[in-house]
Amino acid sequence: MPRRCAILDDYQNVALKLADWASLKKQIDITVFDKPFSSQAEAIAALKDFEIVCAMRERTPFGRDVLTALPSLKLLITSGMRNASFDLETAKERGIVVCGTGTTGNPTAGLTIGLMLELTRKIGFENARMKAGELWQTTLGEDIEGRTLGIVGLGKLGTKVATIAKALGMNVIAWSQNLTPEACAAAGVGYATKEELFAKADIVTIHVILSKRTRGLIGRDDLARMKPTSYLINTARGPIVDEDALLDALQRRAIAGAGLDTFSQEPLPVGHPLRKLDNVVLTPHLGYVTEENYREYYGGMVEDIKAWLAGEPVRRIA
């Protein structure tokens, strides 16, 4: 009998088109879920009979309560090789194999630059006005050439953003908990302390992973150091920033604005106050959402399932 396999959170309904799932048709019976579960209880009820679950990033969390309520689950796959919403210790205790997939390119870097340009040049805003029948321009843009970009986290993604920003004529400084002046010099950017970065930067962009050390890393005091003309961009993870403190700063216009792709609660509730602010650009966690990346994700999931069925799991995380 084929093993039941769930593909979760396929919001664009593309999972089955972007990988060779047909090669597994005799071995697995696939069910695609194209909407987020409304609650943990709904997720458990829907998934209780599945042996294989393919998750898209952290859209559906698999903490201890969920994993212990899924007696049939044997293989849990995440897109990418890291998932902060998976309880790996519980997975090990229950004998659940956890695997990941590859990724491709740096799509979040492009989104970061896009948010930066929308905040400073109001491209989408003016586009919407023209399509609504407005006659001509009303906004006064800001040139980012010569401005200072402060990068929190100079890893692979942060370095990519720095390279693009320098090509646009920006001055770039960086900080993170483990970053050294030598590493900054090697990347061709300036080193700053955390306090210096938030005080000097015209735009602050966050590129650290979510962990126990980085949860709440950007707090009220950091936001208070920012200039009233500066912007914050977060394409990393929502909980890295104290969202209440950020909301307060935006409502008081203590900073000029923010570009946010990630949030403490996702999907962002329809009535959330961030949706009502005119100095915020919001996107629904699009950083990794590209066709190229999805082909890598879903193709990797097919490979993971084949390897697990053969008794030789690949890209194993737990």
Q: Do 112 and 210 lie in a common domain?
A: yes
Query: What type of residue is 120?
Result: T
175, part of any domain? yes
Query: What type of residue is 107?
Result: P
318, part of any domain? no
Q: Do 201 and 82 lie in a common domain?
A: no
Q: Do 137 and 254 lie in a common domain?
A: yes
142, part of any domain? yes
Q: Do 116 and 92 lie in a common domain?
A: no
Q: Do 47 and 67 lie in a common domain?
A: yes
Q: Do 165 and 274 lie in a common domain?
A: yes
pLDDT at 47: 98
Q: Do 145 and 184 lie in a common domain?
A: yes
Q: Do 149 and 298 lie in a common domain?
A: no
317, part of any domain? no
Q: Do 24 and 139 lie in a common domain?
A: no
Q: Do 182 and 97 lie in a common domain?
A: no
Q: Return the axis-axis angle of helices 107-121 and 123-131, rounded to nearest 10°.
A: 70
Buried b (16+ CB within 10 A) or exposed e, 123-159: eeebeebeeeeeeeeeeeeeebeebbbbbbbbeebbb
CA 260 remoteness from chain centre:
10
Q: Do 85 and 133 lie in a common domain?
A: no
185, part of any domain? yes
The pair of three-digit structure tokens given for residue 283, joined into one six-digit string: 């996107």
Question: Quick one: DSSP state of residue 15?
Answer: G
pLDDT at 105: 84
pLDDT at 1: 86
Q: Do 134 and 242 lie in a common domain?
A: yes
316, part of any domain? no
315, part of any domain? no
Q: pLDDT tens, position by position, for the chain (318 residues)?
A: 899 999 999 999 999 999 999 999 999 999 999 999 999 999 999 999 999 999 999 999 999 999 999 999 999 999 999 999 999 999 999 999 999 999 998 899 999 999 999 999 999 999 999 999 999 999 999 999 999 999 999 999 999 999 999 999 999 999 999 999 999 999 999 999 999 999 999 999 999 999 999 999 999 999 999 999 999 999 999 999 999 999 999 999 999 999 999 999 999 999 999 999 999 999 999 999 999 999 999 999 999 999 999 999 999 999
Task: Count structural domains, the chain.
Answer: 2
| Structural domain for 151, as ranges | 107-282
160, part of any domain? yes
4, 3, 9: which is closest to 297 by C-alpha?
Answer: 9
Catalytic residues: 237, 266, 285
Spatial distance between the Cα atoms of 316 and 81, rounded to a whole number of angstroms: 9
Spatial distance between the Cα atoms of 161 and 236, rounded to a whole number of angstroms: 13
Q: Are the C-beta atoms of 85 and 39 separated by less than 8 Å?
A: no
> How do residues 165-215 score in pLDDT, each as one tens digit?
999 999 999 999 999 999 999 999 999 999 999 999 999 999 999 999 999
pLDDT at 97: 98
- Residue 75: CATH number of its domain: 3.40.50.720
